[in-house]
Amino acid sequence: MSNYIMVGADVHDKDILIKAAYNRENPIQKSFNNTPGGTDRMIAALKKQAREHGNASIIFVYEASFLGFGLYDKLTDAGIECRVLAPTKIARSSKHRKRKTDARDANRLLEVIRGHILAGNDLPDIWIPDLETRDDRELVRMRLETGDKIIAVKNQTLVLLKRNSFRKPGKIGKNWTKSHRLWLGESAKPGSDLPSGARCALNSLGRQLWALEQEIAYLDKQIQKLSQTPRYAGPVQELVKLKGVGTLTAMVYLTEMGDLSRFNNRRKIGAYLGLVPSSKESGGKSDRKGHITHQGSSRVRKILCQASWARVRTDLNEKKVYERIVKRNPKHKNIAVVASMRRLSIKMWHEGLKAQGRAGSFEAVV
């Protein structure tokens, strides 16, 4: 049997607590600062431990978080095998959840990697995107976050007016049309019936909205440029041919999904994006289906939802399928929307693979 130093790490912004064990021996607990110097000392300590056990192989695991993949990169560059695990796929008892400590978290991760190395258990690790994909994600995600901020500012504006019982005249069109924006501008000026404090707040929200819309325009231009690079030009050109799919939707899908060839059939696409129903089966009772699992990228689900509604409005075949499902479940229209999202995600996967010169197992999607 190969010899291993297996390490489970609980990683935080300021510190890293590790549990390191040689094969089946009891683990050693150590803490390090999560700084360049601290991680250097951690790597040196692990390599020293490996040398003491006949140059044993080191395998290091930690959970994915907002800290990104910097630690993964550093460990990999140092010649240490590193796996990043999906927190939602690690089973934890109710006792563990009620008595959660850094040491217990690190020990749980050590148990997971031990089970994988020594017993062949499945390892709930995630796919690590390359540096270029990570950088592309930063741009696309900022565009989505800026869009969310615009929605928040618009909602704040409408709530402000409601709080002050200030209603738009009947001749004004729908919210955020040109006439509505002009009316908001006049309402923010001195002399309107809106109290002075509310006018100042409305002016502030107007400036925020203008600035955010300028940012949206800038980010859209940058995403358009990115979509025309050799890395994305082919797949984007094919994806935007699908009704309801624009450049932004295509770029969110491609950057968040990453290497499309890592999925070898349509079922894995639905499962990865959390668009399949959860199940609960016990004993002889039949399998009960529940809400979708909501695993994977919420960003992709969001743009798929928006694109699916556009497809229902503009694509006759999609509309027929949607209406057929709604007819079976008139009180649960969301089922039809999720089905449309799943079909679209699979079509986008298939078209993206074709554009990259690779074929996947694309079964009939109905």
Encode pLDDT of 331-341 as tens digits. Answer: 888 999 999 99
Residues 182-201 have a mean pLDDT of 94
Give the DSSP H or E segment for 124.
none
Mean per-residue pLDDT, 104-127: 95
Q: Classify strands 4-11 and 15-22 as parallel, antiparallel or unpaired.
A: antiparallel
What pTM was estimated for this model as a whole?
Answer: 0.90
Dump strand ranges (E) for 12-140: 15-22, 28-33, 57-63, 81-85
- Report pLDDT for 91: 80
Average confidence (pLDDT) over 317-337? 92
What is the number of H-type helices and E-type strands within the chain?
13, 7
Q: How confident is the model at residue 153 (pLDDT cuts 50, 70, 90)?
A: very high
Choose between 358 and 14: higher pLDDT: 14
Q: What is the pLDDT of residue 362?
A: 39
Sheet holding 15-22, edge to edge: 28-33, 15-22, 4-11, 57-63, 81-85
Instruction: Give CA–CA dist 74/70, Å, rounded.
Output: 6
Is a pLDDT exceeding 70 seen at residue 359? no
Q: Give one DSSP letter per residue of 160-212, joined into a string.
A: HHHHTT----TTS-STTSHHHHHHHHHHTSTTSSS-HHHHHHHHHHHHHHHHH
Geometric angle at alpha carbon 352, from 349 and 356, rounded to 5° = 135
The band of 326, judged by pLDDT with boundaries at 50, 70 and 90, is very high
* pLDDT higher than threshold 60 for residue 284: no
The answer to whether 90 touches 66, Cβ cutoff 8 Å, is no
365 pLDDT more than 50: no
**What is the model's pLDDT at position 363?**
43
275 vs 87, 134, 304, 318, CA distance in Å?
Answer: 19, 24, 11, 18
Domains recognised in the chain with CATH numbers: 4-119 (3.30.420.40), 131-227 (no CATH), 234-355 (no CATH)
- C-alpha 342: how far from its chain's center? 16
* Average pLDDT of span 282-298: 75
Q: How confident is the model at residue 16 (pLDDT cuts 50, 70, 90)?
A: very high
Place of tokens 């010649």: 79
